[in-house]
Chain A
Amino acid sequence: MINTNNKILKRIYKDRYYYYLLIPATAYFIIFHYIPIYGVKLAFEKYRIFGGNQWVGLAYFEELFTSPAFYKALMNTIIISGLKLLIGMPVPLILAILINEVNNKYFKKYVQSVVYIPHFLSWVVIAGIFTMILSPVNGMVNEIIKAFGGSSVSFMTSTKHFRGVLVVSELWRSAGWDSILYTAALSNIDPTLYEAAKIDGANRWQRNIYITLPELLKTMIVVFILNLGFFLNAGFDQVFNMMNDSVISVADIIDIYAYRIGLLNMNYSYATAVGLFKGVIGMILIITVNKIAKKNDAGGLY
């Protein structure tokens, strides 16, 4: 026993410089990640500026589960996330196939370079762009609608259209970048498969249906599973910058709700409880889907 302990100590001593190198990162993770994790105990306490917090147990969770506003926020989160997942999933795949079919390598490079750009812009900028192009007065989209004889629609302030705006702006920002995964999967397909199919008389269309698509569907299932892990993140930055008071009934997702309760109404403990609820569900989702992804031999998230 003493002998093995000694061996370990010797090994640690020999590698001591590696531990020294990890000191700054360790300090960073403890201060900026683990202290806030410990800080969620505020969800079980009544926040007081003076005299320390008072333990109240599950009082804030009782408030949470009986609050209609919270259920509304949960429903909005599920609807918006669900729409993004269903509509946002096939588009990058189709885009990757279309790009892959381009023969001219300069045109291919041009398309790829352009469609990746929006991924690098902040949601503040994208919200600004969408506010302007969707403007009912002289925005691009309404100009087109008017040119075809329609009448202006106020997309950003209409509860009927706002979720659609969220899905479309998400696609505008991410579809190009998300297609990279499928492009990588396409380049991994064994070219001899296509050769063999050609010899067997399969045309271009048949080769896409029977070779390319099944291969990409495998990737899509992995992407789907992993996105499911982040289902409760309906996109705080996006909604926060695009929403306004007239659409709050359809846009108030959990994160926005926590922000309003916590930082605007200063109800710190209740907002921490909202955050904790979301964090725990999110963690369970991520661990579960990661297990599924690994079981399917798809390689997990971590």
Chain B
Amino acid sequence: MTKKSIFQLINAVLLLLLTITTIYPFVNLLAVSLTDAKEIAYMTGLDIIPKKLSFDVYKALFTSPQVYKAFFSSIYITVMGTVLNMVLTIITAYALSRKNFYGKKLYMIFLIIPMLFDGGLIPNYMLIKNLGLIDSYWSVILPGTINVYYLMLLKNVFQSVPQSIYEAAEIDGAGHFTMIWKIAVPLAKPGIITIGLFYAILRWNEYFKPLIYINNPDKWPLQVLLRQFIVDSDKGALFGTQTLLNYSSGATAIPFRSLQAGIIIITVIPILLLYPLLLKYFNNVTVGAVKE
């Protein structure tokens, strides 16, 4: 073997090991969640094949009203939040990308100041309280309406649209909303999809705002439920105490560890489903922006 191919081999093995440390925990958790309750004691952190296949964990999770409601809350926050994000980010990025209107420089400073200094935890909490948004989904959705990084990214993408196309449309009597919808958005499709996916993932991962602003457990998203269940080890949060007693005293008692593994998997799956789409589009957009 030549020196070069030995290096190539060591490098490949090293990178392969690295990817295994990323994937292995997920496969292990999946295997634990799919193992029959009676065999779970024999499943260690190294096993990646279920000892005896059983879907009891997922049956229990999906029939739990608490999990069901949390799933709905997560979907609601993600969908409504991402739509709001996209509408406002697109409109604003379009306006900033087209013309050097009077005061534009000042407006950019207005956008940058909140990146440098933010009021902190308590002033934000007071604001939500004073707006009467406590216990509402909007306490989670509204505060993250525009992410300035994504706004600037989209503005740069829009700036690559040739002005002459807009000018031709203007002569034909097109208004701004027509130009956004018919020209800017279709021409910036990879950028729009990438930013939409980034927003959706941020929304799905939202846990702190619902934790401090939403007191009603029926409105908690999955992330908060997961936190209660894993970080605070609060078994009652998942099933309600009564149902939990039934589960742990019945013949098919489901071990806590299996439930933990199952709910992590449920929380991660939507992101893994979006991930291939993200990989497809983001390369052109982000690497382009980084190079700038």
Binding site for B on A (CB under 8 A): 8, 11-12, 15, 17-19, 21-22, 24-26, 28-29, 31-40, 42, 95, 98-99, 101-103, 107, 110-111, 113-118, 120-125, 127-129, 131-133, 135, 138-144, 172, 176, 180-181, 183-184, 187-188, 204, 237, 240-242, 244, 255, 258-259, 262-263, 268, 271-272, 274-276, 278-280, 282-283, 286-287, 299, 302
Contacts and interface: CB of A to CB of B under 8 A. Distances in A.
B125 interface: yes
Nearest to B198: A120
Contact of A180 (B96, B107, B115, B287): B287
A128 to B, nearest CB: 4
Contact of A37 (B117, B204, B226, B272): B117
B267 A125 contact: yes
Contact of A271 (B14, B19, B44, B122): B122
Given A21-B92, A39-B126, A141 B45 contact: yes
A121 B205 contact: yes
Given A24-B91, A102-B12, A132 B25 contact: yes
Among B14, B226, B292, the one with the most A-chain Cβ atoms within 10 Å of its Cβ is: B226
A258 B92 contact: no
A183 B116 CA distance: 28
B98 interface: yes
Given A113-B279, A120-B201, A287-B116, A15 B102 contact: yes
Among B16, B25, B88, B278, the one with the most A-chain Cβ atoms within 10 Å of its Cβ is: B25
A131 B259 CA distance: 14
8 contacts: A36-B123, A38-B123, A102-B15, A125-B223, A140-B24, A268-B126, A275-B121, A282-B117
Contacts of B187: none
A236 to B, nearest CB: 8
Nearest to A104: B12
B221 to A, nearest CB: 10
Interface in B190-249: 201, 204-205, 207-208, 212, 223, 226-227, 230-231
Contacts of B251: none
B168 interface: no
Contacts of A103: 8
Contacts of A114: 19, 22-23
Nearest to A101: B11
B291 A29 contact: no
Tell me the interface secondary structure of chain A in the complex.
Answer: helix
Tell me the interface secondary structure of chain B in the complex.
Answer: helix
B275 to A, nearest CB: 7
Interface in B240-284: 257, 260-261, 264, 267-268, 271-272, 275, 278-279
Contacts of B275: 117, 120
Given A34-B114, A115-B18, A15 B45 contact: no
Nearest to B263: A128
Given A36-B120, A271-B122, A180 B127 contact: no
Interface stretch (B49-57, B58-66, B140-148): B140-148
A155 to B, nearest CB: 13
Contacts of A40: 119-120, 123
Given A32-B145, A258-B120, A42 B126 contact: yes
The 10 residue pairs across chains A and B that have the minimum distance between CB atoms: A275-B120, A36-B119, A39-B123, A140-B45, A122-B205, A33-B114, A21-B95, A36-B123, A15-B101, A25-B92
Contacts of B121: 255, 258-259, 262-263, 271, 275
Given A17-B176, A33-B118, A129-B264, A272 B123 contact: yes
Among A15, A102, A181, A287, the one with the most B-chain Cβ atoms within 10 Å of its Cβ is: A15
Contacts of B223: 122, 124-125
A198 B286 CA distance: 32
Contacts of B164: none
Nearest to A237: B208
Interface in B1-41: 4, 7-8, 11-12, 14-16, 18-19, 21-26, 28-29
A272 B14 contact: no
Interface string B92-117: 10111011011000010011111111
A32 B143 contact: yes
A29 B124 contact: no
B46 interface: yes
A42 B264 contact: no
A55 B175 CA distance: 52
A128 B226 contact: yes
B43 interface: yes
B29 A142 contact: no
A35 B92 CA distance: 20
Contacts of B46: 140, 143-144
Contacts of B272: 117
A274 B121 CA distance: 10
Contact of A135 (B45, B113, B127): B45
A26 B108 CA distance: 11
B290 interface: yes
